[in-house]
Amino acid sequence: MGDQLTVGIAQIAPAWLNRDATLAKMVDYTLQAADADCRLVAFGEALLPGYPIWIDWTDGARFDSPIQKRIHAHYVDQAIQIEAGHLRLLQQVAADRQIALYVGTVERAADRGGHSLYCSLVYIDERGEIQSVHRKLMPTYQERMTWSTGDGNGLRTHRLGAFTVGGLNCWENWMPLPRAALYALGEDLHIAVWPGDAHNTAETTRFLAREGRSYVMAASGLLRIGDMPADTPHLDIITADMHTELANGLLCNGGSAIAGPDGEWIVEPVTGVEKLIVATLDHQRVRAERQNFDAAGHYARPDVTKLMVDRRRQSTIDVVD
């Protein structure tokens, strides 16, 4: 393959809080990406089974609310458990078509009791094997009502052709030290996943590319009122104000984009449509831009500043038999 790598971003909406239906849609877009000769396809943050948008619209901070408890329980039911094989179908497609995936998930973590949720970015390689599960280090603002804080176990990079790929969830991309960790691990293709807002990707994608002298793929989702299944608990309460406040019914508008290692657009932010975005990247451009700046290489001063990363998976128990 040399220096060339064809990649895709699947900017799609979930069948909101419906794991199986969303998974089927992701499989379809993975097959489309493989048909377009992509060796990597990325999906938005928490796409499987969906972003917890109800918190913004239902007085989500009300303590001990029966409404919040019921919606949260449904969210837990629809979250993924890797140990239960919920990603096995995507893994099989990845292996069959020899395509790698970055998948934004809501993970019901068995190693943390099985009932707490984590915003987890999962990397599945071209053999269909899960190589990393990065649990979001710090959920943002209202997300803390439903997601738990993660750890450093998933701060890893992976070789893919001439490239070294890594990824972060949403506002983690604003955190200098996690970015620095991935730079130090050789990253030159960064996957920034978002729930779907162009105001985020337009502001950060080009800067991240310029700072890292890397390609940056901003993978976002969409969400429309019509993507919410009728059997969603308390759907009438969740959507009551949406119908009057959102003229177009659009909750998340996408904004997926790709920037080159000089910080210039390869694909400007795409909004309002479900679409497979495809581009071919050239690693030679990374090497050219690193000539005058390399954050972890010749422009680093590890004798002055150095980063420590703890990649142990957090646990509340150590068992000695």
**8-17, 225-234, 246-255, 284-293, range with the lowest pLDDT:** 246-255
Residue 274 a catalytic site member: no
3-state secondary structure (DSSP) of residue 101: strand
Question: Which CATH number do you get for residue 47?
Answer: 3.60.110.10
Count CB neighbours of 301 within 10 A: 7
Percent of the chain exceeding pLDDT 70 equals: 100
Token output for 140: 């943002």
Residue matched to tokens 């969603």: 232
Q: Where does the pLDDT of residue 248 fall: very low under 50, low under 70, confident under 90, or very high at 90 and above?
A: confident
pLDDT digits (tens, 9 = 90+) for 150-183: 999 999 999 999 999 999 999 999 999 999 999 9
DSSP state of 131: E
Residue 74 located in a structural domain: yes
Residue matched to tokens 């794991």: 19
Residue 268 located in a structural domain: yes
Q: Which helix (H) or strand (E) holds 212?
A: helix 198-212
Say if pTM beats, i.e. exceeds, 0.85: yes
Segment 227-244 shows an average pLDDT of 95
Residue 297 located in a structural domain: no
Q: What is the pLDDT of residue 244?
A: 87
Residue 245 located in a structural domain: yes
pLDDT at 1 exceeding the cut of 70: no
pLDDT digits (tens, 9 = 90+) for 21-40: 999 999 999 999 999 999 99
Residue 170 a catalytic site member: yes
Number of domains in the chain: 1
Cα dihedral sign, 187-96-51-309: negative
Is the Cβ–Cβ distance between 194 and 200 less than 8 Å? Answer: yes
Residue 136 a catalytic site member: yes
Burial class (CB in 10 A: 0-12, 13-18, 19+), 21: middle
The pLDDT mean for the chain works out to: 97
Spatial separation of the C-alpha atoms in residues 204 and 202, rounded to whole Å:
6
Residue 146 located in a structural domain: yes
Q: How many CA atoms lie within 13 A of 104 on its CB side?
A: 31
User: Which of 20, 318, 316, 13 has its CA nearest to residue 148?
Assistant: 316
Q: What is the pLDDT of residue 243?
A: 87
Which of 25, 45, 107, 289 is catalytic? The answer is 45
Residue 53's domain spans which residues? 4-289
Which of 25, 38, 119, 170 is catalytic? The answer is 170
pLDDT digits (tens, 9 = 90+) for 44-89: 999 999 999 999 999 999 999 999 999 999 999 999 999 999 999 9
Token output for 283: 């690693």
Residue 97 located in a structural domain: yes
Which of 25, 38, 107, 136 is catalytic? The answer is 136
Residue 155 located in a structural domain: yes
Residue 270 located in a structural domain: yes
